Chain A
Amino acid sequence: DAGITQSPRYKITETGRQVTLMCHQTWSHSYMFWYRQDLGHGLRLIYYSAAADITDKGEVPDGYVVSRSKTENFPLTLESATRSQTSVYFCASRWDRRLNTEAFFGQGTRLTVV
């Protein structure tokens, strides 16, 4: 199906483990984003990518790593998960940087670090 999909939808991991959240979009959008959503903070940008092999930090990048070897995929890796990284993670994509282009969001991944 066309669109933007995240996997897994739910994940429980232990402190210190590495975990990767996947994001795949079928529109060939240039821009992709990772946000985390926490109560009282809204959506905060972790990392974003303007194109394959181009990534940049957002507002809260510490503890996260991203890569973008292919336009359609933008995985987010927690190298050593901490409890403070328990959150709902959203991936989004956008055609380009112009003001009048909409960002589409995936359904989210609920991550719990125990």
Chain B
Amino acid sequence: GQQLNQSPQSMFIQEGEDVSMNCTSSSIFNTWLWYKQDPGEGPVLLIALYKAGELTSNGRLTAQFGITRKDSFLNISASIPSDVGIYFCAGQETSGSRLTFGEGTQLTVNP
């Protein structure tokens, strides 16, 4: 099956720092999604990307759909304590409805 490699697995940063995480795939995706999961909750969609090269922002979050369609990154600027959680990337193939998820990046923000 498809594999999504998400890195880093965990990050410990100080409040105010910028954060960057990325996902790479062994296959081409037509959609990249970034989700955040708070403790005890289900994942919530942050950003959706539908075109290769697309750069999309949502407040302090910026994500890009790689030109090769096999990678994506998420940046968080000026981190705050409520950014703590697990961030997942997910990709969808050319056809079908299934999403493949990365293993997640656990973000800890120290005040």
Contact = CB atoms under 8 A, between A and B. Distances in A.
Q: Do A and B bind each other?
A: yes
Interface string B24-58: 00000011010100001111110010100000000
B66 interface: no
A85 B90 CA distance: 23
Interface stretch (A12-20, A61-69, A72-80, A95-103): A95-103
Interface stretch (B13-21, B68-76, B77-85, B92-100): B92-100
Interface of B: 1, 4, 6, 30-31, 33, 35, 40-45, 48, 50, 88, 90, 92, 96-104
A59 B98 CA distance: 10
A13 to B, nearest CB: 20
Contacts, number: 57
Contacts of A97: 96-97
A41 B9 CA distance: 11
A21 interface: no
A114 B96 CA distance: 36
A110 B100 CA distance: 21
Interface in A38-63: 40-45, 48, 50, 58-59
Given A42-B6, A43-B88, A50 B97 contact: yes
Nearest to B31: A99
Interface string A24-50: 000000010101000011111100101
Interface of A: 31, 33, 35, 40-45, 48, 50, 58-59, 90, 92, 94, 96-97, 99-100, 102-108
Contacts of B96: 97
A2 B70 CA distance: 36
A105 B42 contact: yes
Given A35-B101, A103-B99, 10 more contacts: A40-B103, A42-B101, A45-B98, A90-B43, A94-B97, A99-B30, A99-B50, A99-B92, A105-B35, A108-B42
Contacts of A40: 103
B51 to A, nearest CB: 10
6 contacts: A33-B99, A42-B4, A43-B90, A45-B100, A58-B98, A105-B44
